[in-house]
A and B are shown apart, each in its own frame.
Chain A
Amino acid sequence: KAGVTQTPRYLIKTRGQQVTLSCSPISGHRSVSWYQQTPGQGLQFLFEYFSETQRNKGNFPGRFSGRQFSNSRSEMNVSTLELGDSALYLCASSLDGFSGANVLTFGAGSRLTVL
């Protein structure tokens, strides 16, 4: 079956712009979570959605937002981009979101560069 699909894979933006990233989870998976990965900070949890509801949010400013659609596809948006937002944004899906850390399947990520 198809894995987790993230689009776009690479993008370049300038400071002040906004960006929308998309994630299609594995078919049947209802939980989608987002992570920011940078060399110095590792994987940082952004937020998690289940059945179109945000259940958890990490320690990121309000410029970072997301949503989930009825088909479980998810988008995240970053507004007013800053240089420090340059990172690999990873999406992970899981079946039900209740089984702990052992069931995350990650997409290949969207690499954002902010100039």
Chain B
Amino acid sequence: GQSLEQPSEVTAVEGAIVQINCTYQTSGFYGLSWYQQHDGGAPTFLSYNALDGLEETGRFSSFLSRSDSYGYLLLQELQMKDSASYFCAFCSGGYQKVTFGIGTKLQVIP
């Protein structure tokens, strides 16, 4: 089957660093994406890893290890506005059938 696993909740302090892990299982794999969704808002794309390694976009970085079927999203210099749900996702087919993880609710506290 196809699935992704990620922690349901994470709490971190403003200014700190937090890592959200994601493990996946699929028969076909094109890459791992991360989306952010604030309460009441739409998911928005954050990052995508097609190859192994680290991708950095400002305060956010994402990592992928295909051999371990594992990735993570790293958020640095946490701000209160980073409080949101974060979803890992993959597209295992040629078309846009995207499977999402259950989402990790990040709470940033002062």
Binding site for B on A (CB under 8 A): 4, 31, 33, 35, 41-43, 45, 48, 50, 55-56, 58, 90, 92, 94, 97-98, 100-109
Contact = CB atoms under 8 A, between A and B. Distances in A.
Task: Indicate the member of A102, A103, A106 with the most B CB atoms within 10 Å.
Answer: A102
3 A-B pairs closest in CB distance: A102-B48, A101-B91, A101-B33
Interface residues of B, number: 27
B103 A42 contact: yes
A95 to B, nearest CB: 10
B63 interface: no
B46 to A, nearest CB: 10
Given A43-B103, A106-B42, 20 more contacts: A33-B96, A42-B87, A42-B102, A43-B43, A43-B87, A45-B97, A48-B95, A48-B96, A48-B97, A50-B96, A56-B97, A97-B95, A100-B30, A100-B31, A100-B48, A101-B30, A101-B32, A102-B31, A102-B48, A109-B42
21 contacts: A33-B97, A41-B102, A42-B87, A42-B100, A43-B43, A43-B87, A43-B100, A45-B98, A45-B99, A50-B95, A50-B96, A56-B95, A56-B96, A97-B96, A98-B94, A100-B30, A101-B90, A101-B91, A101-B96, A108-B41, A109-B42
Contacts of B89: 43, 101
A104 B102 contact: no
A41 B3 CA distance: 12
Interface of B: 30-33, 35, 41-45, 48, 50, 87, 89-91, 93-103
Contacts of B97: 33, 45, 48, 56, 58
Contacts of B96: 31, 33, 48, 50, 56, 92, 94, 97, 101, 104
A26 B44 CA distance: 14
